[in-house]
Amino acid sequence: MARLPSSESMSESLFEIVSRLEELEAEDAHPSRLLGVLDAVQEPAHLWDIAERVTPYIPIMRMIFRRAHQLGASADRARGYLALAYIFDGDDETASAIVADPQESTDPVLLSAWAHLSDDSGETLTRLQYAMSRCPSDARLRDQTNELLKRLSRGGDS
């Protein structure tokens, strides 16, 4: 696959990569084929754009994790996306092991995954507030906090 362009056609190229990754995952393709698609990504920012857009299937996120390592990208961010895939899949135990103790991190994706792993709304809110103190301008954490507060104000507990 060709290298990603650095111009206006970037979002189209990202869309093509996302589509191809999801097609391969649906075919239960070998992970090397997923990684081959991701080889076109040369910038960590583009990799994170793909991670945001793709359905968080574990095989895809494992290869995004691997590609992040190859690019020297943020290990915390890569762990966060991988953990979110396990949460999406219902495997909180594995997600928790991936997240470990993120309290020294300033990565909003990792802190978001950490907050998702609480079974108690009060603890989730505490974690989100902590995460917001580490990443005060992050839209993901702000949205996650607002959604939880809305749910709690309607009387929802989980």
Mean pLDDT per 10-residue interval, the chain, length 158 residues:
54 89 96 96 95 96 98 97 98 97 93 95 95 94 95 78
Structure tokens given for 74: 């943020």
Count of beta carbons in the 10 Å neighbourhood of residue 35: 15
Structure tokens given for 28: 């239960």
* Boundaries of every domain in the chain: 7-73
Closest CA to 125 of 117, 115, 137, 114: 115
pLDDT of residue 12: 73
pLDDT of residue 33: 97
pLDDT digits (tens, 9 = 90+) for 127-148: 999 999 999 999 999 999 999 9
C-beta of residue 89 within 8 angstroms of C-beta of residue 122:
no
pLDDT of residue 7: 46
pLDDT of residue 10: 65
Structure tokens given for 72: 């020297």
Q: What is the pTM of this model?
A: 0.89
Residue 47: burial class (beta carbons within 10 Å; 0-12, 13-18, 19+): buried
